[in-house]
Structure 1
Amino acid sequence: MHALIVTSHPESKSLTNSIALKIGEGLSQSGSHTFEIADLAAEGFDPRFSQADIASHKRRAKTPPDVAAEQARIDRADSLVLVFPVYWWSMPGLLKGWIDRVFSNGWAYDDNFEGKLSKKLGHLQIHLVGIGGADARTYEKHGYDIAMERQIDHGIFDYCGARVISSTRLLEADSRDPLQHFNTARNIGASLFDKHMQVKPTVAA
C-alpha cells in the first residue's frame, strides 16, 4: 500500500519535516509499503484560492493544473498523512490553502447547489500528526483538542467521506527531547496500515 505524507513547514530541517521522515522510515521498515513526501513549501505550492478555483468550484471551468496534479497524487495513495505544526490551534495557512484548493467540488465531494451532497473520498484513510509547543493540560483545559477535532476531523474530512483513522498530537515540542517524538513517529509509520486500526485514537504524546 502507498502513503502520501504532506508537510508545509518553510524550514527543510524543521522538527515537522524530520517527523515526516521518521514516519516514512517506520512505514518502509515493513518492506511491503511505499510512501511519498509532498513538501508544499519546498515545491512552491500556491495556497491562494483564486478566480480559477471559484470557476472550477461552480463547474464553469476545468480544475487548475496544479490542483489536478495534487489530486492525482492523493488518488495514487491509500493513506494521506498530514504532518503540521499547530498554529493558533489549527494548521498552517499553506496546508489549509492546499486543502481549500485540492479538496474541491467534483473531486472530494459533489455539491449540486440544491441541497444534495455526495461524499467521494470514502476510500481514503487519513492520519493527522500535529506538533505543538503547549502541553496536553492546556489543550484539555481550553477545549483546543475538541475544537481541532471538530474543525479538521469532522469539518473537513468527514464532509468528504474520508476516514480519520488516527489523530496524534506531539506536544511540548520546544521543551521535550525530540527523540521521544521521533520514536512515536516511527511507530505511527510502522502501524499505518495495520488492519486493527479501525477506530480513531487521539494521542497526546
Structure 2
Amino acid sequence: MHALIVVAHPDQKSLSHSVAAHLAEGVSLAGEGDTFEIADLAAEAFDPRFTAADIALHLRQAPPATDVAAEQARIDRADALVLVYPVYWWSMPGLLKGWIDRVFTNGWAYDEGPDGKSEKKLRHLKVHLIAIGGASLRTYARHGYFGAMKTQIDHGIFDYCGARVVTSELLLGSEGQDVASHLKAALAVGRNLFHASKRTEAADAA
C-alpha cells in the first residue's frame, strides 16, 4: 500500500517536518513492502491562491491546471492521505487550506448535480490528520477548539467528499518536553497506517 504524506511548514527543521519524517519511517518499519511519498508544499512552492482558473474548473468550464492535476494524481495513487501541519489560529495553515481548496475540486472529489445534491467521490480514501499545537490541552478543551477543528476539517471537508478520517491526532506542547513523545506517536501512526485495512482484507479473503 502507498501513503501520501503532506506537510505544510516552511521550516525544514520544524517539528512538523520531524513528525512527517518519523511517520514515514514508521511506514517503512512496518516491514510489509508499503511505500510513501512526502509532499512538502512549501519546498515545492505550491501556489495556494484560488484564482479565476479554479473557479472555471469548479464550474466545469475548463480542465484542471497542471499543478492541480498533478496533486490529484498523487492522491489517486495513494491508499492513505496523511496531513501533518501546525495549528494556526485554531485551524490549518493557509498553504494547506489553499491546497485543499484548489485540489479537492468539483468533478474529482465530489460531484455537484443540477439538483443541488452532491455525490461523494473519495469513499476509497483513508485520511490521517496530525495537527501540532503549542497551547495546552486544557485550553483546547475549555474553548472547544479541537471540537471546532474536527467539525470544519474532519466533517466539513473530508466527510463531504466521502473520505474516512481514520486518525485525528492533536499533538500539544510542541515547544517543550513533549517533543519526544510526539515523535514516538508519529512513528506508531506510521507503523499502523495500513494495519486495519490489511486485517479487513485478510478477513474478507478468508
**Global fold match (TM > 0.5):** yes
Report deviation, 1:145. Answer: 1.0
Q: CA deviation at 1:195?
A: 1.4
After the TM superposition, which residues 100-179 of structure 1 pair with which residues of structure 2 at under 5 Å, given as runs?
100-179=101-180
Residue 4 of structure 1 is matched in structure 2 by 4
State the one-letter code of the partner of 1:33.
D
Deviation at 1:112, TM superposition (A): 2.3
**Number of aligned pairs?**
198
Give the aligned residue type for 1:66: D
Kept in 1: contact 2:57–2:63 (CA 8 A): yes
Other structure's SS at 1:70 match = helix
Instruction: Report the Cα distance in structure 1 between the residues aligned to 2:61 and 2:67, rounded to whole angstroms.
Output: 17
In structure 2, distance between residues paired with 1:22 and 1:76: 21
| Offset at residue 177 of structure 1 (A) | 3.9
List structure 1 segments (4+ residues) > 2 angstroms apart after TM superposition. Answer: none
Task: Provide structure 1 residue ranges, at least 5 long, that are not aligned to the other structure.
Answer: 199-205
TM-score (structure 2 length as normaliser): 0.93
| Alignment correspondent of 2:36 | 35
Distance in 2 of aligned mates of 1:118 and 1:183: 38
Contact 2:30 2:192 in 1 (8 A): no
Where does the alignment leave 5 or more consecutive residues of structure 2 unmatched?
Answer: 200-206
Q: Secondary structure at the match of 1:42?
A: coil
Deviation of residue 114 (structure 1)? 2.6
**2:60 is the alignment partner of 1:59:** yes
Partner of 1:81: helix, strand, or coil?
strand
Q: What CA deviation, in whole Å up to 9, does each residue of 1:46-72 have, x standing for no partner?
A: 000011000010010111110000000
- CA distance in structure 2 between the aligned counterparts of 1:163 and 1:180, rounded to whole angstroms: 26
User: What's the C-alpha RMSD, in Å, of the aligned pairs?
Assistant: 1.4
2:3 is paired with a residue of what secondary structure? strand
- CA shift, 1:8, in A, is 1.1
Displacement of 1:197 in angstroms is 10
Q: What is the CA distance between 1:144 and its match in structure 2?
A: 0.4
The one-letter code matched in structure 2 to 1:193 is F
SS at match of 2:194: coil
Aligned to 2:194: 193
1:71-90 Cα offsets, whole Å, 9 max, x none, are 00000000000000000000
Distance 1:62 1:98, change over 3 A: same
Residue 113 of structure 1, CA deviation:
4.3
Q: Give the alignment's TM-score, normalised by structure 1.
A: 0.94
Give distance in 1, aligned partners of 2:61 and 2:49: 19
Q: Deviations over 1:103-147 (max 9, x none)?
A: 000000001243121000000000000000011111111000110
Q: Quote the offset at 1:169 in angstroms.
A: 0.7
